[in-house]
Structure 1
Amino acid sequence: MYQIHGLREKLQLGKSVVTVELEPPKGADPMPTMLTAKHLRGYVDAVNIADSPMATLRMSPIALSHIVQQDLGLEAIFHLTCRDRNILGLQSELLGAAALGVRNILTLTGDQPSRGDHPDAQGVFEVDAIGLVNIAKTLNEGQDLAGKSLNAKTDFFIGGAANPGAEDQEVEFSKLRAKTSAGVRFVQTQPVFDVETALRYQERVEKEGLPVYVLFGILPLKSGKQARFLNEKVPGISISQEIIDRVEAFGREAGVEIAQELYHALKPHVAGVHLYPLNNLQTVYDVLDIRVDQSVAL
């Protein structure tokens, strides 16, 4: 099912990779996401499939990741949260993912159900993201959490989230050290909007000798209003006044240019980037400077 050089192998070989965030459909038809993924094939190294993001109901990320890989030959990274499953359910989901050939996992704690479209649902949160990493690593070693042997071990490439712009970098790196100790081998970060923040984070990862590949998040801004909201309301995101002014004056065009500048500046120095297209496939083409005859919007 996999090419010889999948995401893990490309990173090990030192290839600069690009991943893109996709949202599963709300319904039993995978085609909306599949059509988008189809038009990314050959341009990106993997697509992320979210796990009911913002606690809103969506198709299973494991099932959809399998379909993307099986039908399109495009590698997927499935998100798995601790919100909806206890440790028995998490292990079961992971064994099913392994059987389907879905081996890249992004481990997340998950949003509270009260934020989503089923606010009366009960969150589980029996473990947090690090506990989930430990579960995946234990299954990779051929055992379950009860210490009993599996009939075949899993082979997950375990990822986690990171935040280069966190206000307290000591706390941020304490979390990162804990994640890598538990078994995380790649992280995808919250969006960064300046080269210095990203490179400073990368330099510290290297200085501490942490065994992790960092894929830095890039979010092309659409408007000055969006830039101000992210800068003021989202912890760990800092956007300079210069960038806010550029996007205020020139809108999406400036947002794409800023993302392009960041992508090209980071590419020689980091393991890769993770694009947040915000439901606009053309944004991916624009940032990566891909020329296509006809693009398809999400």
Structure 2
Amino acid sequence: MKDDRFDVMVEVVPPAGADAAPLMKTLEGINDLSFTGFSVATNPVAKPRMDALSLCRILQDELKRPATLHVTTRDHNRLSLQGILWGAKALGIKTVLAMTGDFVPLAEKEVTSSVRDISLPDLITMAREAGLHTGVVMNPFTDELRLGIAIKRLKEKVEAGAQFVVTQPVYTSRDAEIIAEAVTPLGIPAVLGILPLRTFRHAAFLHHKVSGIEVPDAVRTAMANADNPTAEGIRLTRELLDTARNHFSGACIMPPFDHFEILHAVLPTE
């Protein structure tokens, strides 16, 4: 579903510790750019980070832009999730992204357990009942079989109350267009996930090691052959952002390894 409004969100990973000051100083450096707000991850790749709700409030207070809170079924039981959602509403957080969360690595399962005592549809319903604008994520597979499965799952999330969807990172305009066409019949806004590539090694790692992300052969080859791989990654990001403006209701840019400075080459100033 495409409408006249186009929002650009910047994904932020909270710090691994209690001090948000260095991250905030970095983000102040991009606050003159034209984007809508922040999307704040919750313990990505199942590693401990500062509480995402706390960072959302800090971002809104200090940078005066809305923050979307990621909420997972992995880390909290039903009681805790209900409290988080009510707390988010009370603290002025208007939007949440409901998801299952990355799986805990096998090597760490003896010391870290996944909770998951609530289903994702139940979490979506709970978030809606708390008065929060609620989004979900989807894998960006474009082959017929897996795309069909992804759309079926997305339809179930929409039936539970999901109001928009953010894709996992996509790496070609053609794949983005296929996904946009498949999501349109569901009648909800779709946001294109864009994770800029920095090196061939980065592209290969995402493709081979990160669940839900596929970097096509042609893109990995282009990164391998580029004289300046980071510049090639920025070029691709610009291309995908243009595609998003034509086919999606927004884009979520996910700067890798806190390299927010690349946004200066991607987004205009306000």
Query: What's 1:27 paired with?
Result: 17
- The one-letter code of the counterpart of 2:240 is L
Is 1:220 aligned to residue 196 of structure 2?
yes
Query: What's 2:262 paired with?
Result: 283
Per-residue Cα deviation, 1:78-137 (whole angstroms, up to 9, x for no partner): 111112211111111111111101111011112344469785133211013222102112
Distance 1:181 1:174 in 2: 11
Per-residue Cα deviation, 1:130-153 (whole angstroms, up to 9, x for no partner): 2210211233xxxxxxxxxxxxxx
Q: Is the 8 A contact 2:200 2:220 kept in 1?
A: yes
Is 1:134 aligned to residue 112 of structure 2?
no
The 3 A distance-change label for structure 1 pair 199 and 36 is same
Matches of residues 23-62 of structure 1 in structure 2 within 5 Å? 23-42=13-32, 43-62=34-53
Q: 2:247 aligns with which of 269, 285, 289?
A: 269
Query: What's 1:111 paired with?
Result: 102
- DSSP 3-state at the match of 2:154: helix
Identify the structure with the greater helix proportion.
2
Q: Is the 8 A contact 2:14 2:40 kept in 1?
A: yes
Query: What's 2:89 paired with?
Result: 98
- DSSP 3-state at the match of 2:246: coil
Please, what TM-score do these two structures have when normalized by structure 2? Answer: 0.89
CA RMSD of aligned residues (A): 2.4
CA drift of 1:205 comes to 1.9
Distance 1:100 1:281 in 2: 26
Q: Is the 8 A contact 2:96 2:135 kept in 1?
A: yes
- The one-letter code of the counterpart of 1:230 is L
Q: Is the 8 A contact 1:185 1:211 kept in 2?
A: no
- DSSP 3-state at the match of 1:21: strand
- The one-letter code of the counterpart of 2:67 is A
CA drift of 1:166 comes to 5.5
Please, what TM-score do these two structures have when normalized by structure 1? Answer: 0.81
Q: Is the 8 A contact 1:16 1:267 kept in 2?
A: yes
Unpaired stretches in structure 1, ≥5 consecutive residues:
1-10, 140-154, 292-298
Query: What's 1:173 paired with?
Result: 151
Distance 1:53 1:256 in 2: 23
Q: Is the 8 A contact 1:55 1:116 kept in 2?
A: no
Q: Is the 8 A contact 1:77 1:106 kept in 2?
A: yes
Distance 1:118 1:25 in 2: 23
- The one-letter code of the counterpart of 1:74 is R
Question: What percent identity do the matched residue pairs reach?
Answer: 30
Query: What's 2:170 paired with?
Result: 192
Q: Does 64-73 or 162-171 show the bigger shift?
A: 162-171
CA drift of 1:202 comes to 1.1
Q: 2:5 aligns with which of 15, 22, 33?
A: 15
Unpaired stretches in structure 2, ≥5 consecutive residues:
none
Query: What's 1:149 paired with?
Result: none
- DSSP 3-state at the match of 2:14: coil
Q: Is the 8 A contact 1:190 1:217 kept in 2?
A: yes
CA drift of 1:45 comes to 0.6
- The one-letter code of the counterpart of 2:19 is D
- The one-letter code of the counterpart of 2:75 is D
